[in-house]
Amino acid sequence: MMPVHINDIYYDPEKQFCGMYIASKASMPDFDPTIELLNILNKNKVCLLSISSHRSEDVVHNFIILDLTDKSKLKENMIKNIHEIFGSRLVYFECAESGVPGLIYNVNGYPVILNVSGHPMQVAAMTTSGWKNLVIGMIRRYKGDATLMLWNMGNDFGEAHGKFLLEIKNLSDKNRIMIGLAVLQALGWGKFDLAECDEFGKVVVIRATENFEELITRELLEYENRFLLGFFVGLVSRVFDKACRGTEVKCIKLGDPYCEFLIK
C-alpha cells in the first residue's frame, strides 16, 4: 500500500513509528541527557526521524520519533539502555504508539511533525484557549444558533475527512474509522476509542476523553459537544455511504467517565 496523506497527516501503513519522551536531570558537562540519548540510538542502530528538546531548570525534556519498522525488538533494548545509563537521573520516561501503524505520535498521542503538501513541518495549530475564545464568542453572539453552526462546521469537516479515508484501498469500514480517530488524536482533539462498530447494522459508538470541545466549554454545563458530534456523523455517513444521525449519550460534565457518541 502506498503512503497517503489524510488531512495533512502522513500515513504509511508499512511503517512502525514510536515516540519516546524522556525527562532527566542534567549535570553539565558531565552528563548531557540529549547526547547520551543520541549515543544510545547510535548503539542500537535505530533510525531517528526527529528530536525536540527543552530545559526547565536542571531537567532536560527530550522527545524523539523513531522508525522501528522490522526492528520492534530494539525498543526493549533501548528502554533497558536508557534506564541503565540514566539511572537515578531519570525523572520520567514513556513510550507512545498511536495504536494505528503508520502514524507519527508524541507522548499524548499527538504529532510533532505534519506533512503539508509534501513538506514536513512542525505542528502549528490554534491553542485550546484560541478555540475557547472562538466557541464562547459564537455562543455569545449567536446564542442558540451557535450550536447548529458548530454542528454544521463539524459535519462538513467530518465528511471531508471521510472522503480521504475512502481513498485508502483494501480496508474495512471499521479500520477506516479507527484510522480517522487516530488522525483526530494526532491533531490534538483528544483521545478516542472506537467502542463499537457494527458494519452490518451500521452502528458506531465512539468514546472520547480529554476532548478539546468538552475542555473549553466546561463551565457551560448545558452545552453538548456539537462540533464533535457533527464531525462523527459526517465521518461515519461518508464511510458507510448512508445518511446517519448521532446523539451524545454520555458526557463527562454529567459525571460520566467519558463522552460517548452513538451514530447510526
Taking a C-beta distance cutoff of 8 angstroms, is the pair 17, 66 a contact? yes
Q: Please indicate whether residue 174 or residue 109 has the higher confidence score (pLDDT).
A: 174
Q: pTM for this structure?
A: 0.75
Q: Which of 103-107, 211-215, 231-235 has the highest mean pLDDT?
A: 231-235
- In terms of C-beta distances under 8 Å and separation of at least 24 residues, what long-range contacts does 25-34 make, across chains too? 25/58, 25/59, 25/60, 25/89, 25/91, 26/55, 26/58, 26/59, 26/60, 26/89, 27/58, 27/89, 31/89, 32/60, 33/60, 33/62, 33/86, 33/89, 34/60, 34/62
Helix (H) or strand (E) holding 114: strand 113-116
Give yes or no for residue 189 having a pLDDT over 70. Answer: yes
Of 5-14, 173-182, 208-217, the poorest mean pLDDT is in: 5-14
Q: What is the mean pLDDT of residues 78-97?
A: 91
pLDDT confidence tier of residue 83, bands split at 50, 70 and 90: very high
Give yes or no for residue 250 having a pLDDT over 80. Answer: yes
Helix (H) or strand (E) holding 198: strand 191-198
Whole-angstrom Cα distance, residue 15 to residue 4? 12
% of residues, the chain, pLDDT over 90: 45
Name 88's Cβ contacts closer than 8 Å, sequence gap at least 6.
none
The pLDDT tens digits of the residues spanning 39-79 come to 999 999 988 888 888 888 889 999 888 889 888 788 899 99
If you average pLDDT over every residue of the chain, what do you get?
87
Domains and CATH numbers, the chain: 4-122 (3.30.70.260), 128-263 (3.30.1380.20)
Please give the pLDDT value at position 195: 96
Nearest 5°: phi and psi at 263?
-125, 130
Please give the pLDDT value at position 164: 87
Please give the pLDDT value at position 193: 93
Give yes or no for residue 257 having a pLDDT over 90. Answer: yes
Q: Which of 1-5, 6-10, 183-187 has the highest mean pLDDT?
A: 183-187
The pLDDT tens digits of the residues spanning 92-121 come to 998 877 777 787 766 666 665 556 566 666
* Closest alpha carbon to 23 in 13, 9, 10, 37: 37
Q: Please indicate whether residue 134 or residue 126 has the higher confidence score (pLDDT).
A: 134
Please give the pLDDT value at position 255: 92
Q: Please indicate whether residue 33 or residue 116 has the higher confidence score (pLDDT).
A: 33
Please give the pLDDT value at position 115: 60
* Closest alpha carbon to 187 in 98, 260, 109: 109
